[in-house]
A and B are shown apart, each in its own frame.
Chain A
Amino acid sequence: MEVHLSPGWIQTPGRSDPPVSARSSWDDRKDANSALLSNYEVFQLLTDLKEQRKESGKNKHSSGQQNLNTITYETLKYISKTPCRHQSPEIVREFLTALKSHKLTKAEKLQLLNHRPVTAVEIQLMVEESEERLTEEQIEALLHTVTSILPAEPEAEQKKNTNSNVAMDEEDPA
């Protein structure tokens, strides 16, 4: 399914040196945070690409295009099952503005945007050292920001309403 291209053909600027160990190339990657794409952006891109190719119909089925068809179909299928499907540029902007006060790294904000966590456990997974950096109220506030700004799947909305009732009961004794 995935085919490797020999390294001589494509030079990636800055990466044409002798093979670097996987770990250090990853550290470079982490610094290149400006190149991170959210799932929503990829979703938009692939949907637009699909529209364009549908309009210019004829050469979609030529053997050369098969790989592109496969990868766009599979990736679109994967992303469509995530909460990113219902996002829009305004929502993303609003979300990032709301997160400014929480002092999270770019990677953490990206994960929150892509996954839309609804429990404190998920927040702890995505935010490093969350026990030390965030108090319980801050985690609650963060959860609230995420669930109120980012749209959920329509059926998850109903589950969320019943869950929040349960959560309220649990908070009372505390």
Chain B
Amino acid sequence: MFVLVEMVDTVRIPPWQFERKLNDSIAEELNKKLANKVVYNVGLCICLFDITKLEDAYVFPGDGASHTKVHFRCVVFHPFLDEILIGKIKGCSPEGVHGNISLGFFDDILIPPESLQQPAKFDEAEQVWVWEYETEEGAHDLYMDTGEEIRFRVVDESFVDTSPTGPSSADATTSSEELPKKEAPYTLVGSISEPGLGLLSWWTSN
């Protein structure tokens, strides 16, 4: 689920922090910059793991702060392909069990309708997805309720570059709406179409 990623960055330490140990200031700055942020094509950064190398610190004319190039390793949430994860269902919609799965610290996981245990149907009245499980006794309807723990396999991931676009875009004047549609920078697509996947309660022996 988590990986260690080596990164390089230049950290700026303002003069009023010079009395602190350099390592501490740098660690704090890096954590401030990275924690809970998605780095494009890397994953969701959790926190700094360690600093591997500190290069010389420079002070540039006009700016009293010191700039240090730092080589460090960061703990990043980045599940590998086909990894099994357990999350909580946050909601269902006709597009899939989505907004769906939440890991507490990471929410953008979607299970599209094709990847649910087949056959499945969407119950309009309760707004939940249902697995129509056939046994000798007849069909059982297994509901995927909100708040239930669900085991799923990661089948795909997508990174979206959400950097702001420059003012040169032609319809800058028409974007008087407060927020352009917010895209999640990092989303996972899951699947539960295998034996063993789905709500934990479906598979625990009773």
Collect the chain B residues with CB atoms within 8 Å of residue A3's CB.
36-38, 185
Of residues 1 to 54 in B, which have CB atoms within 8 Å of A's CB atoms? 1-9, 28, 31-42, 44, 46-47, 49
Q: Among the listed B1, B39, B105, B194, which residue makes an inter-chain contact with A5, where contact means beta carbons less than 8 Å apart?
A: B39
- In the complex, the chain B residue whose C-beta lies closest to that of A121 is B196
Task: Verify A111–B84 contact, CB threshold 8 A.
Answer: yes
Collect the chain A residues with CB atoms within 8 Å of residue B59's CB.
none
Interface flag for B83 (CB, 8 Å): yes
Contact with A along B76-110 (1 / 0, CB 8 A): 01101111101000000000000000011111100
Whole-angstrom distance between the alpha carbons of A46 and B1 in the complex? Answer: 15
Of residues 33 to 81 in A, which have CB atoms within 8 Å of B's CB atoms? 35-39, 41-42, 45-46, 49, 59, 64-65, 67-68, 70-72, 74-75, 77-78
- In the complex, the chain B residue whose C-beta lies closest to that of A163 is B205
Task: Verify B32–A39 contact, CB threshold 8 A.
Answer: no
The winner among B37, B49, B184 for most chain A CB atoms within 10 A is B37
Task: Verify B41–A20 contact, CB threshold 8 A.
Answer: yes
Contacts A11-B8, A26-B157, A30-B80; is A1 near B3 (CB within 8 Å)? no
Task: Verify A5–B33 contact, CB threshold 8 A.
Answer: yes
Collect the chain A residues with CB atoms within 8 Å of residue B159's CB.
22
Interface flag for A115 (CB, 8 Å): yes
Q: Which of A87-95, A122-130, A133-141, A143-151 contacts B (4 or more CB under 8 A)?
A: A122-130
Q: How far is the CB of B78 from chain A (nearest CB, A)?
A: 7
Interface flag for A19 (CB, 8 Å): yes
Interface flag for B141 (CB, 8 Å): no
Interface flag for A168 (CB, 8 Å): no
Task: Verify A9–B2 contact, CB threshold 8 A.
Answer: no
Of residues 185 to 203 in B, which have CB atoms within 8 Å of A's CB atoms? 185-186, 194-197, 203
Task: Verify A4–B162 contact, CB threshold 8 A.
Answer: yes
Whole-angstrom distance between the alpha carbons of A38 and B75 in the complex? Answer: 11
Whole-angstrom distance between the alpha carbons of A114 and B108 in the complex? Answer: 21
Q: Among the listed A25, A30, A68, A125, which residue makes an inter-chain contact with B47, where contact means beta carbons less than 8 Å apart?
A: A68
Collect the chain B residues with CB atoms within 8 Å of residue A75's CB.
46, 77, 104-105
Collect the chain A residues with CB atoms within 8 Å of residue B9's CB.
9-11
The winner among B34, B46, B49, B108 for most chain A CB atoms within 10 A is B46
Task: Verify A64–B185 contact, CB threshold 8 A.
Answer: no
Task: Verify A45–B75 contact, CB threshold 8 A.
Answer: yes
Whole-angstrom distance between the alpha carbons of A29 and B49 in the complex? Answer: 18
Q: Jot down 30 A-B pairs with beta carbons below 8 A, ordered by A.
A: A4-B37, A4-B40, A4-B185, A10-B7, A10-B34, A12-B39, A19-B40, A19-B41, A22-B158, A26-B80, A36-B2, A38-B2, A45-B75, A59-B28, A64-B28, A65-B31, A68-B35, A70-B35, A71-B105, A74-B105, A78-B103, A107-B80, A107-B83, A111-B83, A121-B203, A124-B195, A125-B195, A125-B196, A125-B197, A163-B205
Closest 10 A/B residue pairs (Cβ): A74-B105, A68-B35, A71-B36, A4-B185, A121-B196, A4-B162, A67-B36, A64-B32, A78-B104, A6-B163
